Amino acid sequence: MLELRGVKAKLGGFQLGPIDLMVEDSYLVVMGPNGAGKTTLLKAIAGLLRAEGSVVLDGLDVSRLPPERRNVAYVPQTYALFDHMTVYANIEFGLRMRGVPREERRKAVVEIAERLAIKELLQRTPRQLSGGQRQSVALARALVVRPRLLLLDEPMAGLDPDIKEAALPLLRGLSQEFGIPVVHVTHDRDEAYSLGDLVAVMHGGKIVEVGDAEEVFARPRHAVTARLVGFQIIKLEGRCFGIRAEDVVVGSGGIRGRVVQTMRSAGGVKTLLDIDGQRIWAYIGSARPGDDVEIELSRPVPLDC
């Protein structure tokens, strides 16, 4: 279990926290726009950045321990593999640094390679691997040391869509298979929804919302969260609401708007509406720029703006 108690850090002019968070042995996805502090949070947990407050792992406060003694595995976005070394040597590296005997290292490397289906890659170098294979090697190197926590920084950034699709089941099973909490940083909402048991949303160095993934995506509480998970924001009578394009219905709802633009999309023809200076997309059938329409919002979600 991971528990953060009042974790704060400063990086240049950026202030992280204070962050209070608890993660059981589950998969937590941290979402947020660029500059929200997601990577800074991971580095604070890993001990790569000086931070105030407490980082507690399985009941032990590791806040004053150096990174190498926290038993936290951190996989950066670049994977940071050694290109001049074989896959075997890359995976073995952390065990060798810990003084693990050679035969024990060999058994551990082969076991993790088999579990992640990369045994046939052990004698290759990272330059000979695809993006998805490099990701699997980075995970193997992190997991072979049996960490108490796994931190993943944008692990699918730059992967082709088909490789991402294949990687999802691998990542999704990590927490349960290895019995450790996983903290995964991303700005991709589809990735977050597919992987997260829990989703935490960061903005301006703070966590503005955290909860079950289904709940966060269906009923966000904060406007920042709503935008990240695909809602549009509209103010009506001084209150903020989140609305999806498919929930804007032509009818007698008393909300008047004007068609600004139409555009083809995978879901059909989208219509951009102007409502008292606010613009939202809707699927409302045939319409032309300049048409006046009356709409209703079928499932608006009240938000804190």
Read off the pLDDT of residues 166-181 as tens digits, 9 standing for 90 and up.
Answer: 888 889 988 988 899 9
Domain 2-225 CATH assignment equals 3.40.50.300: yes
Sheet with 27-31, edge to edge strand ranges = 72-75, 149-153, 182-186, 27-31, 198-203, 206-212
Round to whole Å and give the CA distance between 66 and 160.
36
Read off the pLDDT of residues 182-221 as tens digits, 9 standing for 90 and up.
Answer: 999 998 999 999 999 999 999 999 999 999 999 999 999 9
pLDDT at 51: 94
121 near 112, Cβ under 8 Å? Answer: no
Q: Please, which residues have CB within 8 angstroms of residue 97's CB and are 6 or more apart in sequence?
A: none
pLDDT at 164: 85
pTM of this prediction?
0.89
Mean local confidence (pLDDT), 56-76: 93
Query: What is the residue extent of each domain of the chain?
Result: 2-225, 232-303
Q: What is the CATH number of domain 232-303?
A: 2.40.50.140
Mean pLDDT (the chain, rounded): 92
- Calculate the CA dihedral of residues 99, 104, 106, 111 and round it to 10 degrees: -120
